[in-house]
Every structure is written in structure tokens, then in C-alpha cells.
Structure 1
Amino acid sequence: MVLPHDSFPLPEGVTGASVWVDRVGERSLVGRNQRGVEIPIGSGEGQVNPGELLKIALLGCAGMSSDRTLARRLGEDFPMRLWAHDESDAEQDRYLRIGEEIQLPLEGLDEKEVAAVVKVFGRAVAAACTVERSIVPGVEVTHRILGAEGEPPAEEDAR
């Protein structure tokens, strides 16, 4: 376990789930976790800005939440890529909507199977994505499985 080792004392509430961010320059920070991961935060080259981190957190949570469920339908080593494109609203200085797009190997699946993948993805994210559940309903988060844009089937068809 890695913890900061500098002049700041550890806060009382530090747990295994705690993360921290250190300032390393003007509007330049480094986010860290206790497993030794470092994420450069800022708007410069090689840095991720906080809005991007929010979207990455949502995408990562959706991917992890749906992984096992999708593996049962698509195979253990299925590829997946998740995207988030929306920008913050300049007037309100907040995200009003974050649309996610998910790329999955849907080739070879029939319409019912694709609909079932869409449904189980949505259910898995709704049930297990702590990040999304923490920010919704404050910001609309949508999910779209690319290549599965048809009408959803009746409830009994997607089981």
C-alpha cells in the first residue's frame, strides 16, 4: 500500500478506498491511489482534465459493471470500447448530459441476441455502477450500444 510521505499529516478518515491529489504546478496536479497509480491532471499535454476524468470514471464503471454479464453472452475474451463525447455547458459550467457509446462484437448475433445484450448491459450498469448511481439524476447519462440501434424487444424476449 502506497500512502503520501511528505509534510502533510494523513487525515483521520484515510481508508483503503482513499485517493489523493497533489499540486505539482500551476493548475497541474497528480491524482494517486494506494496501489501506486498516478494520473496527471490538468489541461496540458499528457494530462487529463477533471471533466475527462469524470467521463472516464463513468465509462470505466459501466465497463466493469457489465463485464461479467457481457462475457456470458459474448465470450470470455470479448473486446469492448466505451466512448463519452459530450462537453460541459459553458454558461452553467456543468455537464448537462453525458452520452456513452459502447462498441461490442455484435456480428453474427441475431436481432433478439443483440437486444438481449443491450438489455443486460443496461441492467448491469443500473445495478452495479456506483459512479453513475452517484451522479444521476444530476446529469443525464445515456448508453448506446453501437450497432444495436433497433427497437428494444418485449420484456420476455431479452431474457
Structure 2
Amino acid sequence: MSKRLWVEKNKDGSWDAFSDDGAHIKFGHDRGQFSPGDLMKIALAGCAALSSEFAIEHALGEGHGAKVVVDGTYDADNDSYINFNEQVMIDATDASLSEEDVDKLKKRVKAHIEKGCTVMHTYEQETPVRMDIEVRR
């Protein structure tokens, strides 16, 4: 069973997203707020970060992780993103890795992300969305 999520509008025009297990994030279109498009990119970056965590900690030690930067090309005519560019940056400056170790780490991180990132898998295919609208009276 999937986690139930919902959003509610605030009096100031911002929105709050909630989950059954207590997670919360504020979003909207004002300065200092993430837009829904931003949240799509955050989901992709977060998925890569979590998917790569084991491989990075195995190579560099507990507490290490990647900084993942995502941008995308927005198509205004179709109001959609046509691609995303993801950069996974790993700080291994204190690890004294050889070139061979660096290559192995890159391959391992890529394999973990490609295997375990549900968001990337979803974005790479056509994903239908079914919408129901209910008006309570």
C-alpha cells in the first residue's frame, strides 16, 4: 500500500503537503518557496542521493554522501519539462582514492542509482495520471 499524501492551501496563498506518517513541506509560487516543478527536480535529486548512499558510504565511510544537482529544460508551449540533467558530486578529497578506485566508485554509484531510483524510472517512461474531481456540497 502506498503512502497517502495530500496538499492544503494556507490563508497566505502558500500550500502545505502532508503525509500520513507526519512528513510536511511548504510550497507555492512566492519567493523562498519551492514550485511544483522544483519539487519534481528535488524528487529526482533526492532519489539519486538515497539510492547512491550505500555505495558512497561503503567506499568513503559512514556519513558521506553525494550532492546531487538537477536542472531541466522547460517547454513553455507544452507546459512540461522535456528533460532533466542530473549531476552527482562526491567529495572524496580526504579518501586518497586511486584512479581505479574513483572509476569503481563512479560505476557503483551509477549502478545503484539506475537500479534503485523509482523517480528516475518513472520519469523515463510515459506515466499516465488519472484524475478524479470531487466537489462537496
- Short-chain TM bin: 0.7 to 0.9
Match of 1:92 in 2: 78
Match of 1:135 in 2: 123
**Mean Cα displacement is larger for which, 123-132 or 108-117?**
108-117
Q: By percentage of residues, which structure has more strand?
A: 2
Q: 1:1-150 to 2 correspondence within 5 Å?
A: 17-25=3-11, 28-107=14-93, 108-138=96-126
Which SS does the other structure have where 1:102 is aligned? strand
- By how many angstroms is 1:37 displaced? 2.5
**TM-score, normalization by structure 1:** 0.69
**TM-score, normalization by structure 2:** 0.79
Q: Could you tell me how far apart the structure 2 residues matched to 1:43 and 1:31 are?
A: 14
Aligned residue type for 2:61: G
Aligned residue type for 2:3: A
Q: Could you tell me how far apart the structure 2 residues matched to 1:44 and 1:55 are?
A: 18
Structure 1 gaps, min length 5: 1-14, 139-159
Q: Could you tell me how far apart the structure 2 residues matched to 1:27 and 1:98 are?
A: 28
- By how many angstroms is 1:115 displaced? 1.2
Q: Could you tell me how far apart the structure 2 residues matched to 1:74 and 1:89 are?
A: 39
Aligned residue type for 1:118: K
